[in-house]
Amino acid sequence: MPPTDNALILELKNIHAVYGKKIHALKGVNLKIHTGEIVALIGSNGAGKTTLLKTISGVLPAEQGDILFKGRAIQNIKPHEIACLGIAHVPEGRKIFPRLTVLENLEMGAFSRVDAGGIERDLRHAFELFPILKERRGQLGGTLSGGEQQMLAMARALMMKPELLMLDEPSMGLAPVITDKIFEIIAAINKEGKTVFLVEQNARRALSVASRAYVLETGQIVSEDNAQNLLNDPKVQEAYLGV
């Protein structure tokens, strides 16, 4: 989906991030996301994709540079404050609460909200998007299948009512039929007006659903373009699409 307007919801300027004292994981990353877009970030394992999401959400502090969310610098504030501003991060590996029920996991997603009526409406909507979760609402999260846990992680993030949804490897470890369903839901969420930043190892699927995309290699953005153009780029095809 193309941007609904020209407003920038997220902008990264010269972002550097370091693990410990030696690993320079991000090296001057510049990136823009407009309201209403799906923007994909592709790259090989170890390129820094997960690190970038962690830096945006405040889990890993930026060593240098600016992270602007709706024009406000957020690189020096705490992760829970960033979440409350409207950025939801669905991490790699789902990270649901395994000993809580599906319903309790979803209620945890709304921890910062006080609008009881709105929470109830969003809960109903989550069950519309993910019908299997309604069936499993009383089941412990840890007993769900991998695909169901991914759906739960996404639904929990949506219960925050975020303006920007960041997804880290949502198809990892899932069967093709479940991957198809996950990407259908990502497209549906975007059609409802949600801005999505998608980090995905499955470059072909990511580019098929995104409007724009960036390619990250060894901590640096090496390419940026319309997703369809990147899908047809011989270098991208050779490096990430198996062509």
pLDDT of residue 243: 59
Res. 3 pLDDT band, cuts 50 70 90: very low
d(CA 183, CA 204): 12
Question: Once rounded to an integer, what is the mean pLDDT over residues 65-78?
Answer: 96
Query: Rounded to the nearest 5 degrees, what angle is found at the Cα of 159, between the Cα atoms of 149 and 96?
Result: 30
Residue 170: CB atoms within 10 Å: 25
Q: What does the alpha-carbon distance between residue 220 and residue 48 come to, in Å, rounded to a whole number?
A: 8
Domain locations in the chain as residue ranges: 1-85+203-243
Q: How many helical (H) and strand (E) elements, i.e. helices and strands, does the chain have?
A: 10, 10
* 239 against 29, higher pLDDT: 29
Q: How far apart are CA 126 and CA 130, in angstroms?
A: 6
CATH architecture, domain defined by 1-85+203-243: 3-Layer(aba) Sandwich (3.40)
Q: How many CA atoms lie within 13 A of 66 on its CB side?
A: 10
Say if CB 47 and CB 106 are below 8 A apart.
Answer: no
Q: What tens digit of pLDDT does each residue of 182-238 get?
A: 999 999 999 999 999 999 988 999 999 999 999 999 999 999 999 999 999 999 998
Instruction: Say if strands 8-19 and 23-34 run parallel, antiparallel, or are unpaired.
Output: antiparallel
139 — pLDDT class (breaks 50, 70, 90): very high
pTM above 0.75, yes or no: yes
pLDDT band at residue 88 using 50, 70 and 90 as cut-offs: very high
Which one-letter DSSP state was computed for residue 101? B
pLDDT of 147 reads: 92
Give 143-195 pLDDT, tens digit per residue.
Answer: 999 999 999 999 999 999 999 999 999 998 889 999 999 999 999 999 999 99
